[in-house]
Amino acid sequence: MWNRDRRHLLPLAGSIFILVFIGFGLYGGKLTTAVPFQTIRPSSISLSTPSHTSGQHAIPQQGNPPAAAFVVAEHYTEVFSVSTKDKKYFEIDFAGHGAINPNIIPHPVFNKTWILVAQQFNHRAVPNSVWNAELTCNGVFKDGALRCDDSPLILPIASTTGGKCPGKMAYMDWNVGPHDARVFYGPKMPYAIFGSNSLFTCFGQWIQDMRALVDWGLDTYLKQEFHKATELQRPAPYGLIEKNWFVFWDNNEQMYAHYDLGLKRVFAKVDGTGSIGEDLAPLAAASDKGCLAKYVPKSIPGLESIHQATNSLAISLCKRADACVPNDSNTFILTIFHHKTFYYFHSVYEPYVMLFQQKAPFAIHAISKKPIWIHGRGGPGQGKKPQGFPADLARAWNQTEMFYVTSLSWKTQGQKYHGFVDDVMFMSFGIEDSRTAGIDITAGDLLKDMGLC
Ligand SMILES: *[C@@H]1O[C@H](CO)[C@@H](O)[C@H](O)[C@H]1NC(C)=O
Ligand SMILES: *[C@@H]1O[C@H](CO)[C@@H](O)[C@H](O)[C@H]1NC(C)=O
Ligand SMILES: *[C@@H]1O[C@H](CO)[C@@H](O)[C@H](O)[C@H]1NC(C)=O
């Protein structure tokens, strides 16, 4: 079955597969462009002395010597759980099964129950495994965590074929199953978007009606769009591995897909077959340009980058409690992007909120001035030290815990795409590519320190 050409790639497959899809940060050239440990000597790392001691939520730095207290509020906008006793995030427990890249959406029928979905991780894989799957279960809060109330199952997402992975990536044509699904509600129904073998490039992004994948029950919304997995398209050029696309809906519930942001945005209208219109970002570019330049952190090429991270929600910047009526000037599309750094072979993702208009030209309205800090995240020195990190540099290890935000949803049953600043929202995230967790916050807390465009 394996021909000669492919066989020599197999020894690589096991490790590269994991690096590409699970390590996020370790993909492709990043491994070689990362600064190798041995070239960074202590002289180039300053062990800064305490410079500040005041402020709230100081997190002691670990390691030796105990250095400055790290004052979250100086660098971040911190968000706190509205339900946990210590206001920290909670773990998501897939009944003990390994999982990464979690998603939470309210269950359509069962009260106090949420549908949980995450990428299966660390299962007992065969050598040269090419198997990938999304675990799912109904989750309930128990003993301080959001836990599967039964054995997780896998989402029945069919594998796709493409045959477009070139050269050293050719083994990826053998991939089976979805990668890094995002599960979320649109205005009417739930969806899953996931990476899989593409008809247009090596790996593309596919979308499917979530109701075709779990025991959803009879729905009153009968539209059959995306009942089968459908590949979303993008304006050229394609990357070899496309990921982290999100879809959004305008004020008339027309769907669009958003492909890139950072230095430049790319987004387009999508129809029920995955076909797209032209790139609409140029229409917003004049207004976006200054805002992106002002608020999106600059990235050092090779070691830092900007990535889309989550799905989108619509939010009115006023309170449900005040009987606020959503309109075009108070309602925006909300999404989170990451500024990723990759030093010493450890990725750190800083999440930023972006709001943009929900009607043409969809110009950016505001971007977080400071990244979001999820209460409970490990501070400097508590990031996972990579294997082989030299002992003589250990004192200088000051990286924070790697939290990777994957999805957003409203916590309340029945609430789908739109909400208000006083509604409670779930953020789901992975921790150091090995654990899954979430936090329920008041949506307005995310928007406390936004820079207006
Ligand atoms: C870690 O140390 C480096 C080098 O001194 C510094 O640039 C960086 O800001 C520090 N990071 C944290 C999170 O303290
Ligand atoms: C959920 O709670 C509502 C309101 O308390 C109740 O009417 C409904 O029957 C409950 N549904 C289920 C499936 O238990
Ligand atoms: C939109 O709603 C806000 C209140 O949130 C109100 O101040 C504003 O006048 C409304 N705009 C329009 C165009 O109706």
Q: Is the pLDDT of residue 78 over 80?
A: yes
284 C-alpha to center of ligand 2: Å? 45
pTM of the model as a whole: 0.87
Give the ligand with the smallest distance to the CA of 420: 3
- For range 35-61, the mean pLDDT: 34
pLDDT single digits (tens) 317-353: 999 999 999 999 999 999 999 999 999 899 999 999 9
Q: Whose CA is nearest to atom 8 of ligand 3?
A: 329
Please tell me the distance between residue 264's alpha carbon and the centre of ligand 1 in angstroms.
28
Check residue 21 and give its pLDDT: 41
What is the rounded average pLDDT for all residues in the chain?
A: 87
Centre of ligand 3 from the C-alpha of residue 326, in Å: 8
Count other Cβ atoms within 10 Å, centred on residue 98. Answer: 16
Asked whether residue 58 carries a pLDDT value surpassing 80, the answer given is: no
Distances (CA, A) of 418 to 252, 317, 449: 13, 11, 21
Q: Is the pLDDT at 17 greater than 50, yes or no?
A: no
pLDDT at 69: 82
Which residue out of 111, 138, 215 has the highest number of ligand 2 atoms within 8 Å of its CB and is therefore the one to mutate? 111
The Å distance, Cα 147 to ligand 2 centre, comes to 20
Identify the band that residue 446 occupies on the pLDDT scale cut at 50, 70 and 90.
very high
Span 399-425, pLDDT tens digits: 999 999 999 999 999 999 999 999 999
Per-residue pLDDT band at 67 (split at 50, 70, 90): low
Residues with beta carbon inside 6 Å of ligand 3? Answer: 318, 324, 327, 329-330
- How many residues comprise the chain? 453
pLDDT band at 245 (very low <50, low <70, confident <90, very high): very high
Residues 266, 276 contacting (CB under 8 angstroms):
no
The predicted structure's pLDDT at residue 224: 87
Instruction: Name all residues whose Cβ lies below 6 A of ligand 1.
Output: 45-46, 48, 380, 398, 400
- What residue owns the CA closest to ligand 2's atom 6? 111
Per-residue pLDDT tens digits for 182-224: 999 999 999 999 999 999 999 999 999 999 999 999 999 988 8
Q: Nearest ligand, CA of residue 413?
A: 2
Residue 185 alpha carbon to ligand 2 centre in Å = 21
Nearest ligand to residue 316 Cα: 3
Q: Is the dihedral of CA 67, 351, 245, 176 positive or negative?
A: positive
**How far does residue 412's CA lie from ligand 2's centre (Å)?**
13
Position in ligand 2 atom list of the atom nearest CA 109: 13
Ligand 2 centre distance from Cα of residue 318 (Å): 29
Q: Encode 209-220: b = buried (16+ Cβ within 10 Å), e = exposed.
A: bbbbbbebeeee
> What domains sit in the chain, N to C, each tagged with a CATH number?
6-452 (2.115.10.20)
